[in-house]
Structure 1
């Protein structure tokens, strides 16, 4: 019977340790990290960060975390984990592409016993976080773009109308990709105007003021959501909305606030809607000409719950396709 001497026994496998790549979002205030992130930071044997101006560093140091400045190579980092040590890397804003690529190459080579690798998000973007990026981009464009820096509210007004029509077209065509793009174009108009408004010497306001105004309005006009009012049908909601709006605006006439420069069919529809909702008995004016006939048609459509603008646009699309069919022209 052969006996194996201790010298011939395989050496016990050494623990390979752990590398944690900690990522944070620049859209979340520094220091607002998840509990698993704080646990990992306190448990790590070494904490490294290549960016000495990383916004998280003051908060980590206030919490007693020793953060070393450095950007070791993948090989050096793996070596640091020998003996079961944990090394945590606080990722910079660009991430750590050189490090992660190097670790991937090492892992694929099969030559190195790799430590456990973990990507740990320490903070997540909240819904709407990209809107902050849009505001920052708009700030820079306003300052550095020769065209954008000269624009005024009046100079941009026509674009708001154009983008709104393009949005309606995308909705009617049911094109989801186009819808997403056109919503962005409409949003740009809001952010652009708000940025210009910041520069007004007398009554400046910002995009935050715009958001605060609409938030206040929405909460106030939805007491069935944010207060103890009851609304069980869409009609109840509309009644709440109109009643609250009337109190807010204190208008002398139901026609106050109806923009006269909107498309004529939309204008006629809005006026007849206001009259019907208010319970007023105001006969339509009679007169000669197509205008009075169109007014009567708009009133009829509104009373039947039909948007005459949409109905006429749909009919015009059918007519357009008929014309193109006669011409032998296909959609490009």
Structure 2
């Protein structure tokens, strides 16, 4: 076969010269699914086809087709040749590579639109489908290559990247508060990148930490185990009637897992002060302890009391203050516009 997409290439396929137009099936497969795991309709099609062609001699499905007794011809047929191969009602399957074959599909469309050729039935059959989360495999592969080949990326360490994780987390929070769905999707991706990046560095087992290596699969596996263990009301026999029941069980399980001796263990003191105060108040309230707020003079103690009160009322003080600050920012901008932007900035 030679590649030729012109209508003239199928001149012999004019009406009357064939008993039946036949059938062309374009079979697609996903590289994110293990080769050989084709759908049952795909296997039925391959076994019943008169001809199977594939342009890529290294197509990952070919060894499994051979094991199943399906012979694939190495060829890159043009549209005209495919129509000719279908003469007499034959079924021809084209095993596509990658994202498909635009040259072939455009050629078939041109033939069909010419009105000069009796076209076979044209079908597109997905032989395998991506499972939810399959694109994460692409992300891991791309991160591997970038880590190897990018001069900047290849030199990064956990400590050096830490500031970017904080920045991306704040940008994600901003997107959530703005209600911007498109920005939310992008910022989630940026946070996910940081997770995959750190896991890729950890995979090497080198750097300033010098610890034992682990991979993104170890990270995901640990998270799966944690979610199952901490949700016995979903995966086990326990019951939880309210969100508070779930929260209480989660905290009890964490305390056992981490062997914590204080409800304050695991609360990062480096987080924003209002968030820290609210978290401590939440831990105390959830534990059933009665710990009075420390008495003292100054704005810090007043803010602590406000943060604890907000947390008890179900309000995140950090988000509340941020929302008020954003309103203040908008008021500042409105005032600047009213004065034609002549305000000066003093630090």
TM-score band by shorter chain is: over 0.9
Q: CA RMSD in A?
A: 1.5
Unpaired stretches in structure 1, ≥5 consecutive residues: 1-9
The match for 1:76 is 81
Deviation at 1:94, TM superposition (A): 3.5
Deviation at 1:262, TM superposition (A): 0.3
Unpaired stretches in structure 2, ≥5 consecutive residues: 1-14, 341-347
Cα 1:213–1:11, aligned 2, differ >3 Å: closer, same or farther? closer
Checking the alignment, whether the CA contact within 8 Å between 2:52 and 2:93 is kept in structure 1 is yes
Counterpart mapping for 1:298-317 below 5 A? 298-317=307-326
> C-alpha offsets along residues 59-107 of structure 1, whole Å, 9 cap, x if unaligned?
0000000111111111111001011011111111141111111111100
The match for 2:185 is 180
Rounded to whole Å, the distance in 2 between the matches of 1:184 and 1:82 is 50
Rounded to whole Å, the distance in 1 between the matches of 2:274 and 2:16 is 88
The match for 1:139 is 144
Q: Does 1:64 align with 2:73?
A: no
The match for 2:286 is 277
The match for 1:5 is none
> C-alpha offsets along residues 255-278 of structure 1, whole Å, 9 cap, x if unaligned?
010001000011111111111111
Q: How many residues align?
A: 321
Counterpart mapping for 1:231-310 below 5 A? 231-310=240-319
Deviation at 1:138, TM superposition (A): 0.7
Query: Which is further off, 19-28 or 91-100?
Result: 91-100
Rounded to whole Å, the distance in 1 between the matches of 2:245 and 2:290 is 23
Deviation at 1:39, TM superposition (A): 0.6
The match for 2:26 is 21
> C-alpha offsets along residues 245-294 of structure 1, whole Å, 9 cap, x if unaligned?
12111101110100010000111111111111111121111122111111
Q: Secondary structure at the match of 1:21?
A: strand
Rounded to whole Å, the distance in 2 between the matches of 1:140 and 1:157 is 21
Q: Does 1:208 align with 2:217?
A: yes
Counterpart mapping for 1:81-92 below 5 A? 81-92=86-97
Cα 1:222–1:139, aligned 2, differ >3 Å: closer, same or farther? same
Rounded to whole Å, the distance in 2 between the matches of 1:166 and 1:186 is 9
Rounded to whole Å, the distance in 2 between the matches of 1:296 and 1:73 is 76
Q: Does 1:220 align with 2:225?
A: no
Rounded to whole Å, the distance in 1 between the matches of 2:98 and 2:262 is 56
Q: Secondary structure at the match of 2:25?
A: strand
Deviation at 1:35, TM superposition (A): 0.5
Checking the alignment, whether the CA contact within 8 Å between 2:18 and 2:87 is kept in structure 1 is no
The match for 1:7 is none
> C-alpha offsets along residues 177-201 of structure 1, whole Å, 9 cap, x if unaligned?
1101100000000000000000114
The match for 1:161 is 166
Deviation at 1:13, TM superposition (A): 6.6
Rounded to whole Å, the distance in 1 between the matches of 2:54 and 2:34 is 18
Deviation at 1:320, TM superposition (A): 1.0
> C-alpha offsets along residues 145-181 of structure 1, whole Å, 9 cap, x if unaligned?
1111100000000011110000000000100111011
Runs in 1 of length 4+ with deviation above 4 angstroms?
10-13
